[in-house]
Structure 1
Amino acid sequence: MTEIKFCENNFSFGTEEIMNRLKKDFNDIDISAESCLGYCGDCAVGPYALVNNEMIQADTAEELYEKIKKLI
């Protein structure tokens, strides 16, 4: 099963909306938000998520959504 983790501190980049969209679009994925994922330097500069513990970064939240979709 695919596991996707989002950092709550990264929500200012629009990742909370992406997380909610993924939850709606894909029921068979474990999607969660955590208070900190430990990637503070990356978290401060743009949207990211961990997909099966691999960091996925993008310039925009929409680009992040598309990158995650391709991995699923």
Structure 2
Amino acid sequence: MKPLVEFCASNASSYTQSVIEALEQDPDLDVDVVEYGCLGHCGECYMGPYALVNGDFVSAATAEELLEKIKAKIREDEEAFGKDFPF
């Protein structure tokens, strides 16, 4: 199963749209990218960019840093659980 990266629509409009596009267009990544109306992290949503990666909260000061943290989290999960782990 592919890693899952979830975004909040409100956060995307403010911070993470470029991250969503980068993940969807990266030929080296095979991930499912999903955008929801709300992920239930409303306080964090207005503070800065964030996403849920395989259900784990990942945040950063900038969109560029968030993209790198998402990629690192995906690599970490694949190393710990293998690529076939049901995320």
Relative to the length of structure 2, the TM-score reads 0.77
Structure 1 residue aligned with 2:85: none
Q: Count the aligned residue pairs.
A: 70
Q: State the Cα distance separating 1:70 from its structure 2 match.
A: 1.1
SS of match in other structure, 1:55:
strand
Equivalent-residue separation in structure 2 for 1:16 and 1:34 (angstroms): 13
Identity over aligned pairs, percent: 47
Misfit runs of 4+, over 6 Å: none
Provide structure 2 residue ranges, at least 5 long, that are not aligned to the other structure. Answer: 75-87
Relative to the length of structure 1, the TM-score reads 0.92
Q: Which has the higher strand share?
A: 1
CA RMSD of aligned residues (A): 0.8
Name the amino acid aligned to 1:22: L
Q: Which of structures 1 and 2 has the bigger CA Rg?
A: 2
